[in-house]
Structures are given as C-alpha cells and as structure tokens.
A and B are shown apart, each in its own frame.
Chain A
C-alpha cells in the first residue's frame, strides 16, 4: 500500500524559504496516471490547495501562491518536494502531501501532515 511521509523543519523564520519533502513508499512515483500535490491547513482555517506536479514535469500552482512556490519530483529518490519562499506568519499551517488521480477528483494517499510554524 502506498505510503507518504512529509519531512522538514517545523520552524522557519519570516522571509526565509520553507522546504518540505514527501517520501513515497510502497509504490511507484514514475507514471503520469497520478499527480503529486501539496495542501495546507492554517490554524483555525480551511484546507488550501498549494499545487501539484506530474512525473513528466508539468506543474500547476495556486494563483495566490504561484510567485513563491515550487513543487518538483526527485525521480531518483522516489520523493517530491515543496519550496515556498519569503514566508510570513500567514504561511503557518499543517502541510500535507498527497497523490491524486489524473483523470478525476479522487485522492488516494495522504501523508500524516507536518506542522510548520513561521516565527522569529
């Protein structure tokens, strides 16, 4: 069964770059039947879609985050990553990685989530 696990710093200073990695086990990352994505949930708020990437390299980002976000796939390590630059307190959230179905709205695997706090 596919398993996803987020990793990265739990504390990031304002104006710095938030970097998270999602390690994928129990399945292949190298196909375009699925996309690999990131979603976050700020404290007291709803879910927010950050972006997604396909193994082939196509990337799609939330318009509100597009200028600051990069999602990439590391083919050699079976993992994908999220980088969010120039963070502020508003970027404090639980970040989730997930796998979604390219041809529908199903998502079938999620990481457990990791809390990232932006504070000096």
Chain B
C-alpha cells in the first residue's frame, strides 16, 4: 500500500480558510468512510480532529470540518488562528484491514 498523497505545505492568514487534500485510491479513501485527520505539534501526541470523514470529536472546534469526494478527502479549517499552525495528517482504512497515513502537511499561519 502507498501512503496517501497530501500537499507538503499550505499557508493562510488569520481569519482565512484553508483546505488540505488527501488523495488515495478506491482501496482506501474511496472505498470506505473511515478517513480521519490528525493535528500534530512537535513533541506532542497527534490529536484527532476529524474521524469517519466528517465527524468531530468532543472538544474540537467547529472551525474544523471534513469531506470526501471519490478518492480524495479534505480537511477545511475556517477562521484560521495562530494556534492552528501545526502538521496535519490524514489516515484511511484500507481493503487489507490495515490503515495508511498521508505524508503530512505543514500548515503555516502567516
């Protein structure tokens, strides 16, 4: 299985919205509604931001939203804040009963 494809970096100004894409295949992203997104700050454990494509865990801001179309999932962050600056990774269940991550996207808040 190959890693899911994410852009290496995205940036935006405070208050703006950004979208991070996560492209896989019909054997992972496209085949299951089991896509999750993680926020990762250096030195800390990854934090689950979105699961099952669109669901938000309790305590996660509603500025974070997820969607999927075909083999591509997306994470949108609206009303960007400085604290959103971090690495973001997507993950998907696969047809091999395994999980696969994307390469990660570094979000810079300008």
Q: A residues engaging B (CB < 8 A)? A: 37, 39, 41, 45-49, 51-52, 60-63, 96, 101, 104-108, 110-113
B14 interface residue (CB < 8 Å to A): no
B51 CB to closest chain A CB, in angstroms? 4
**CB nearest to B48 among chain A residues:** A107
Contact with A along B43-64 (1 / 0, CB 8 A): 0111010011001010000000
Q: B residues engaging A (CB < 8 A)? A: 1, 3, 6, 34-36, 38, 40, 44-46, 48, 51-52, 55, 57, 87, 89, 91-93, 96-104
A106 near B40 with CB under 8 A, answer: no
13 contacting pairs across A/B (C-beta < 8 A): A37-B99, A46-B3, A46-B6, A47-B40, A47-B46, A47-B91, A60-B98, A101-B51, A104-B52, A105-B91, A105-B93, A107-B48, A110-B46
